[in-house]
Amino acid sequence: MCELFCVQATCQRQYKQNEVDGPISPSESTGNTVTDIVSPGKRSEMMSGIRAKDTKPEMRVRKALFSRGYRYRLHRRDLPGTPDIILAGRRVAIFVHGCFWHGHVGCNLAKVPSTRTDFWKRKFELNQQRDEAAISALLAAGWRVLVVWECFVRAAKTEQVLETALSSWLESASSTGTLQSIP
């Protein structure tokens, strides 16, 4: 009885929310794509909840670095691109990129949404240009730069795999590096 009531109450709340926000009309969609199942107001609320800092992949990278004895600073705004993790003593900047938001080429996590494709392609293109500019500026300033992709962090099933990959790059003499799970 309670399960049925809870489901009905949830549906009624969602229906009332749609009445307030208004349904999405077919004219608001572009092309022959399926319209969104939530209102623009609700979608905006959902998208605003996506974090730029302290994401799960970033937290796993930070934990792996800390467990290997590396000490770091976070999100230094005075550096180009505001790197996610900075090892100042080693002059290393680490970016932890989400495959979707940074348009990781060839990755199955970086699919362009089927609605408003022109908008999303342009957004990903601008993100990639901004990433390249930040990395170039850091290299020109004498920093070493590592890009860790979300797909690599997900594929690293144990913390030891992640720790080993990070540690081996940090101990190398390479000025740039990328950790990704794409062959």
Q: Mind listing the pLDDT tens digit for each residue in 77-95?
A: 999 999 999 999 999 999 9
Same domain, residue pair 136 and 73: yes
Same domain, residue pair 8 and 62: no
Closest by Cα among 10, 84, 87 to 52: 84
Same domain, residue pair 36 and 98: no
Same domain, residue pair 91 and 138: yes
pLDDT of residue 61: 94
Query: Pairing state of beta strands 85-87 and 73-74?
Result: antiparallel
Number of compact structural domains in the chain: 2
pLDDT of residue 45: 76
Same domain, residue pair 136 and 86: yes
pLDDT of residue 106: 87
In single-letter form, the type of residue at position 37 comes to I
Same domain, residue pair 17 and 66: no
pLDDT of residue 39: 82
- If residue 86 lies in a helix (H) or strand (E), which one and from where to where? strand 85-87
- Name residues whose C-beta falls within 8 Å of residue 134's C-beta, 6 or more positions apart in sequence: 80, 81, 83, 95
pLDDT of residue 73: 95
Same domain, residue pair 42 and 108: no
CATH of the domain at 103: 3.40.960.10
Mark the ranges of the chain whose per-residue pLDDT is less than 50: 1-34
Same domain, residue pair 61 and 29: no
Same domain, residue pair 39 and 66: no
Same domain, residue pair 151 and 78: yes
Same domain, residue pair 63 and 33: no
pLDDT of residue 179: 92
pLDDT of residue 35: 56
Do residues 146 and 178 lie in contact, with contact meaning Cβ atoms separated by under 8 Å?
Answer: yes
Same domain, residue pair 103 and 67: yes
Its domain, for residue 25, covers 2-48
